[in-house]
Structure 1
Amino acid sequence: MRHDATERARRFARAVVRCDVCFDDVAGSDTARVAPGACAHFFCASCVATIARTHVVEGSIASLVCPACGASIPPHVLRRFLSDELYERYETIALERSLAAMPDASRCPRCERVVIEDGDDHCGRCLGCEYTFCGLCRESWHPGESCLTPERKLEVLRSRGGSGAMAALGEDARRKHREQLADAMALRYVEKEGQRCPNCGFGVVKSEGCNKMTCGNCETRFCYKCGDAVDGYEHFRDGGKCALFDLDAVAAWEREMNAARLNAEGRQRDAYVAGDVIAASNCPSCRQMCYKLANNNHIRCWSCGQRYCHLCRKTVRRGAETAAHFGPGVGKCRQHSAD
């Protein structure tokens, strides 16, 4: 039995495998299984390394999943493809997000030690420096008094920074003050412009799109209008509590789409006047009608911006996917043709 498994592993190492990320053919020995025990998908090692490095650098570690099935990539796999510095950053981000998901955990404002708050009054007692503080505003413990508002806290920190006493402090103290000031500014911005996750309290500010949000920390889905947790779209349906899209967002989208449609129609008209071949096809992503101008089969949708093949209607992004999809080889589409 052990001999059979070894022989299968040797055959797989010599076999040619198609990577579903870059679509290159690579030897089995150059592939990696991203989530052993959770899925059976293999990808080329260079693609796995790129995925790992990109998401760790950008801080989006929740997206470290198998591109095929969404299974989470375990830490021991990431360790193979990350440098010591990047893996340390990954562990730091994972720890911070785990702590942020715990409603009764916070860090001591003085020594940054993790502290579990006592009861429902948000009182934190640090076992390291013995400092007692409020877990909400991170100021010294103030029983019976309300916490500082984000606006008031920012004013207090700014007044401290402008005093002559700050200049006499060490670099570490000044650095900590700058960090507290930046945190207070971010908190004020979230309180005024954004919404907090109903599960972990993580601040979210919407830039565009619909009102169904996904928390970047714990991935809880919630309504940006009222802050309630949601599952599906029942919350936004006719007669529901909130609208999925704001009216101003719909108006902005219509203005953008109208401009893009007019531009596409202008290019089509110019091609017709010039006598070029024009053929129509539907975008595989948004189903909008697009036009093939002249003989190029690699089309960019005027509506959603997706690039696809006019001949087979498959999505074909620029770069490695273009080289893999188009060409003279067997099973490939021709990038330029009159049909």
Structure 2
Amino acid sequence: MNPFNLPKIIINRFTRKTECVICFKSQPKSLFHKITTNCNHELNICKLCVNKHISIQLDNNVDVNCPFVECQQKIQYDDMKEIANEKLFERYDKMMLYQALNEIPEFRWCNNSRCKFGQIYIQEECEPCDPKITCKDCGKESCYVHDISWHQGLTCSEYEEIDEIKATQDYIDKKTKSCPSCGVRIIKSGGCDEVQCGIKSCRRTFSWKHV
């Protein structure tokens, strides 16, 4: 209420409020903080909007910049601890931890989707012919080299051969079709829908779309 019809700026001075440049709401001055230690702009973005900005940015990247358009200073770890609410900081802290772990070449997450455990393995300790690693939390066995569930009964070389064959078969299944007459696989590189089998004894013409 404004019973004396005083200008808004005077009312805000009396009630110690500031208008946020993002939400345009008059908020208590206690909600306006320096966002990063390197920011030198006016404190005119409320903490609620800063937290909303951080939450949106964390959906894409752990690196978050100041929301002030002309600033764009990176919000550092200590800055985040001061400006973010408890739940948001816990989310950021966990993302920072995961990022740090993923940058360690010897680190592997457990391949059990229900297990959140991870371990660091020194490559020299893994036998070249059998690089099987076991999660110390749930016991799940994984392959250190391929970072997948352990390929039981196969060496890494054998697994790679089978994987290569499977990739080739997948390509054949997706890119080629069988001739309706002789069954030979045909690949179509362009042109109209009508194709002709390349086998001399066949030469069947058919619609690529309807095979």
Structure-1-length-normalised TM-score: 0.31
Structure-2-length-normalised TM-score: 0.45
Higher helix share: 1
